[in-house]
């Protein structure tokens, strides 16, 4: 993927970071998801007074894309106000694996340090459990 596409996705996530609802952790996260068809979907983390009901930015973006009929993903940019780029949580890795190959690009950028990390989904979730494992 071209570096200008990576930069564009980071910018897309940055734009919506102020919408992150994180009054409990004060960790603000936004995600911009690029589909195979070239569309971009956004998400922010949405926390709740009942802490366990918090939804991560990545899964909000996935739900938005699937709602629009998109089911194949190419890359996601995660932007956070943490000191280091935030690696996606295990639940989000599993949800991304439902709609992506192991070469999906996971880009993470910290607005605090300006650092960017880039991984492949297969590195973050090796031996992913997917639909093919429940075929009989």
- Ramachandran angles phi, psi of 79, nearest 5°: -120, 135
Chain positions 38 to 97 lying near ligand THU, rule: CB under 6 A, are: 45, 47, 54, 56-58, 86, 88-89, 92
Compare residues 35 and 45 and give the one whose CB is closer to ligand THU: 45
Q: Shortest gap between Cβ of 57 and ligand THU (angstroms)?
A: 4
Compare residues 27 and 68 and give the one whose CB is closer to ligand THU: 27
Compare residues 37 and 123 and give the one whose CB is closer to ligand THU: 123
In Å, what is the CA distance from 1 to each residue of 33, 70, 83, 107, 132?
Answer: 14, 20, 26, 11, 27
Contact pick of 11, 15, 25, 84 for ligand THU (by CB under 6 A): 25
Q: Where are the beta strands (DSSP E) in the chain?
A: 29-35, 40-44, 73-80, 105-110, 116-120
In Å, what is the CA distance from 123 to each residue of 17, 60, 61, 72, 126?
Answer: 26, 22, 21, 19, 6
Question: Active-site positions?
Answer: 58
Binding site for ligand THU (CB under 6 A): 22, 25, 27, 29, 45, 47, 54, 56-58, 86, 88-89, 92
């Amino acid at each position: 993927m071209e570096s200008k596409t990576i930069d564009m996705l980071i910018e897309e996530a940055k734009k919506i970071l102020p919408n992150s609802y994180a009054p409990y952790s004060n960790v603000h996260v936004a995600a911009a998801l690029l589909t195979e068809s070239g569309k971009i979907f956004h998400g922010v983390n949405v926390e709740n007074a009942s802490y366990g009901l918090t939804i991560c930015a990545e899964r909000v973006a996935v739900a938005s894309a699937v709602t629009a009929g998109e089911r194949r993903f190419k890359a996601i940019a995660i932007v956070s106000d943490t000191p280091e780029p935030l690696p996606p949580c295990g639940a989000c890795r599993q949800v991304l694996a439902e709609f992506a190959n192991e070469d999906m690009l996971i880009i993470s950028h910290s607005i605090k340090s300006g650092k960017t990390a880039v991984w492949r989904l297969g590195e973050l979730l090796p031996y992913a459990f997917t639909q093919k494992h429940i075929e009989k």
